[in-house]
Amino acid sequence: MDQQPLVGVLAVQGDVREHLAALEASGARTCTVRRPAEVDAVDGLVLPGGESTTIDKLVRACGLQQPLRDRIAAGMPVYGSCAGMILLADRIADGRPDQQTLGGLDMTVRRNAFGRQVDSFEEDLHIRELGGEPVRAVFIRAPWVEEAGAAVQVLARVEHGPAAGRIVAARQGNLLVTSFHPEVTGDHRFHRLFVDIVRQNQRERS
């Protein structure tokens, strides 16, 4: 039987508690990550939603940027939701001049692509990799993927409305991203998928 993986949630800003609960319900041990030593201790990491420019500044202020980049480059599984998607993108279409990312995903992301807080919405998405029932996706000041490289597997696109066709969930190797917030709906299928990615990575490294 596989050892229960330890999955951290970056806890400098954002919806940390909800991700911890979803991960624990998906079979992982959890911890918060605020210090460089904690980056080295985890088998996988979640980058939660929040404000991407604020998280970027706090990551640098806490000395976390280079340790995170190193672990991502070494193949650590990471799941980013909303702001976390922005942090994992190699490029930002409308980032602030001083904004930096951790990178790893060959894609361009547009911040607040769907509009302001008042433009938040929900939509059912049909995601083949999760099977069965559609996923209720909650978009809150959400980004979308403007361009994705050949190595990026598109998992979901907006299905209706003026943004139909925009990429809102993707995977590249051990990196998984959604522009929406599955941690707030009670549907843990994305978190279970991520925990499976972490377990598979553990098996390959053992």
* C-alpha–C-alpha distance, residues 186 and 66, integer Å: 33
**Residues classed as catalytic:** 82, 181, 183
CA pseudo-torsion sign 166, 51, 87, 135: negative
* C-alpha–C-alpha distance, residues 142 and 117, integer Å: 9
Judged on CB neighbours under 10 Å (0-12, 13-18, 19+), 57 is middle
Q: Are 9 and 39 in contact (CB under 8 A)?
A: no
* C-alpha–C-alpha distance, residues 154 and 168, integer Å: 8
